[in-house]
Amino acid sequence: MLMEKQNNFLTKDNIVLNLDAKSREDAIAQLSEVLYKNGIITDADKFTRDVLKRESMTTTGIGKHIAIPHGKSTAIKVPSMVFAKNKTPLKWNSLDGSKVTMIFLMAVSTNNGDKEHLKMLAHLSGKLMDDSFVSKLNKANKTKDILNLLED
């Protein structure tokens, strides 16, 4: 159960099935805008900068065509996550060299964000190590199917 509804970290409004980003930076900026429009963050540009700063330290492309970018930011109102499937594979400097098509962008506050961040990351990591789960997630093309997979 990814989140007890991911503790509402991930909602149907934070799932983007046809992201049309042209780069890693573009994907992060577009997903930051989703979080801003949904009232999760107060400043999309600041959050994007914070995520890209974290991204410059080490890649968040974990392999299997998946990236889990994240950033701690003062722009976060509520810990949250947005999931996206990009229309075309993106270069992400992934650990296995694969291009990324699935992105989990995590947003956590600089104030007490470690607990939420670790909770999201621990559950997600467990699921993403399962090749069968990753395959189902990759094939899912409806918001409710993705939510159901992540909530199991």
Q: Can you tell me the mean pLDDT for 31-44?
A: 96
Q: Please say if the pLDDT value at position 111 is more than 90.
A: no
Q: Please say if the pLDDT value at position 2 is more than 50.
A: no
Q: For 110-134, b where at least 16 C-beta lie within 10 A, e where not — what string?
A: eeebeebbebbbebbeeebeeeeeb
The mean predicted confidence, pLDDT, of the chain is 89
Q: Cα 59–5–68 angle (5° rounding)?
A: 5
What's the sign of the alpha-carbon dihedral 22, 122, 94, 150?
negative
pTM: 0.90
pLDDT at 71: 83
The per-residue pLDDT for range 67-83, each reduced to its tens digit, is: 999 988 999 888 889 99
Q: Can you tell me the mean pLDDT for 92-102?
A: 94
Pick the CATH number of 14-137 from 3.40.930.10, 3.30.360.10, 3.40.50.170, 3.60.21.10: 3.40.930.10
pLDDT at 98: 94
Q: Please say if the pLDDT value at position 3 is more than 60.
A: no
